[in-house]
Chain A
């Protein structure tokens, strides 16, 4: 199967020699959920910005549906729908207005956007806030941001910490919707700190540290590789004190 997203040898070195990411390669196919884990400052957000065409790698290539988006960022913006790490800025708008506007900007018809927005808000149980302009709670804001990414999903959905601040009940509903996006044919790149939830939800995952993608594979293969029974332990073995990443970096 051809990868929808293909990242090869991507590095970003800012002025003064700060390395944001270093020789990162990964592939993501339609129907897959790829979890990108790693501590703060690991380079995950930089990688997301590069995929969306907002940041230019110093070297390497990023192909979205076969097109190098380091040269044609417009392709990335059309192909990728995105939930940012912080809540989408919708000051002054109601959740319904924000979701419908983004859906229309992403090219969906008015009828489709209305139907899908209603469906998403209903499924995630946020209908009671749909037409309220008041400042939203963190969780409702987060769910609204997710709906904005899912209302007219791209071939690639980039979700940065989608479950932060969301209550346990709606968290389950949200994971179902993430799976629904993948089953409908999108490739989902999920950036998260939540290792346990990732374990249950992703097809593949990669752990970043110090700008490098240190390990990647299926959850089962990684647990087998490190001889542990949970992803928490894999994560600790990779990024914890004396872990794989520090040894690599020391070496």
Chain B
């Protein structure tokens, strides 16, 4: 365990050093995106009610964590496969999922300033009252890790050339057809049924609960569903990360 933590720390350092020259730009983009989702969508929905504003304000961080996992992590994996970095690191004595853990840690930390600012903007714009639960950090890590493990497993299983198209396609699906920025009841019945199995609605609900204390589902149920998806994502990621040609 100590060895796993030590190598995880070294890989995280590798990530920070590798991306240091673009770190400032990455943070600025994350901030603009996060604020843009809150502020921009409010133009789309000018007469926003209290409930809609709540969904919009707490949906922005969820969306940002999902995009991190489904878009950023897979594209990093694809790039890593293209440059040979993935193959090189596989030949080093590293635990199977340490690359995923280091990547999620880096992107999550880069994501935090944007998430915090988007909440502040939402508070100012919609007069939302925040009631932050002590479990908020656990919720954010769980949601990010679940999305990232699914994205990682996907990117390791498909050719790098296809990764960008597929991850963008999934992101658009999440943005338009997932109950993150609006309630599940607004979707057609078929999509509602699908979302009862997928973790997205539970992720959004957990984030909303951890930030405002308000939720549609019992948080224990949401933790259970997202936790199971996280476990499944990690198991599949482990399988593809240790698969030999």
Measuring CB to CB, which residues of chain A are less than 8 angstroms from any residue of chain B?
49, 52-56, 73-74, 77-78, 80, 82, 84, 86, 88-89, 91-93, 97, 101-102, 104-107, 133
Contact with A along B179-207 (1 / 0, CB 8 A): 00000000000000000000000000000
CA separation between A9 and B88, bound complex, in Å? 26
CA separation between A113 and B17, bound complex, in Å? 18
Cβ distance B16 to chain A, nearest Cβ, rounded Å: 10
Contact of A77 among B17, B84, B93 (CB under 8 A): B93
* The stretch of B7-15, B46-54, B132-140, B213-221 that contacts the partner chain: B7-15
B94 touches A84 (CB 8 A): no
> Can you give 23 A-B contacts (C-beta < 8 A)?
A54-B87, A54-B90, A54-B245, A56-B245, A74-B93, A80-B91, A82-B91, A84-B87, A84-B91, A89-B80, A89-B88, A91-B83, A92-B17, A92-B18, A92-B20, A93-B18, A101-B10, A101-B13, A104-B10, A105-B92, A105-B94, A106-B92, A106-B93
Cβ distance B22 to chain A, nearest Cβ, rounded Å: 8
Minimum CB distance partner of A87 in chain B: B84
Minimum CB distance partner of B13 in chain A: A101
Cβ distance A157 to chain B, nearest Cβ, rounded Å: 12
A89 touches B83 (CB 8 A): yes
Which of B83, B94, B244 has the most CB atoms of chain A within a 10 A radius of its CB?
A: B244
Contact of B93 among A56, A86, A107 (CB under 8 A): A107
A54 touches B10 (CB 8 A): no
A133 touches B21 (CB 8 A): yes
A93 touches B14 (CB 8 A): yes
- Are A92 and B88 also in contact (CB < 8 A) when A55-B244, A107-B93 are? no
B17 touches A102 (CB 8 A): no
Q: Which residues between 1 and 32 of chain B lie within 8 Å of chain A, taking CB atoms?
A: 7, 10-11, 13-14, 17-21
B93 touches A84 (CB 8 A): no
| Dominant secondary structure at the B interface | helix
List the B side residues contacting A101 at CB < 8 Å: 10, 13-14, 17
Q: Which 8 A-B pairs have the closest CB atoms?
A: A92-B18, A89-B85, A56-B244, A55-B245, A77-B93, A89-B83, A78-B93, A82-B91
Cβ distance A100 to chain B, nearest Cβ, rounded Å: 10
List the A side residues contacting B93 at CB < 8 Å: 74, 77-78, 105-107
Minimum CB distance partner of B245 in chain A: A55
CA separation between A40 and B17, bound complex, in Å? 35
List the A side residues contacting B88 at CB < 8 Å: 82, 84, 88-89
A54 touches B21 (CB 8 A): no
List the A side residues contacting B242 at CB < 8 Å: 73
List the A side residues contacting B90 at CB < 8 Å: 54
A49 touches B94 (CB 8 A): no
Which of B14, B17, B21, B91 has the most CB atoms of chain A within a 10 A radius of its CB?
A: B91
- Are A49 and B7 also in contact (CB < 8 A) when A77-B91, A89-B83, A105-B93 are? no
Minimum CB distance partner of B86 in chain A: A89
CA separation between A106 and B88, bound complex, in Å? 13
Cβ distance B108 to chain A, nearest Cβ, rounded Å: 19
CA separation between A101 and B9, bound complex, in Å? 11
CA separation between A56 and B84, bound complex, in Å? 19
Given A53-B244, A77-B94, A105-B92; 19 other pairs, CB 8 A cutoff: A54-B90, A55-B244, A55-B245, A78-B93, A82-B91, A84-B88, A86-B84, A88-B88, A89-B84, A89-B85, A91-B83, A92-B17, A92-B18, A92-B19, A101-B10, A104-B10, A105-B7, A105-B94, A106-B92
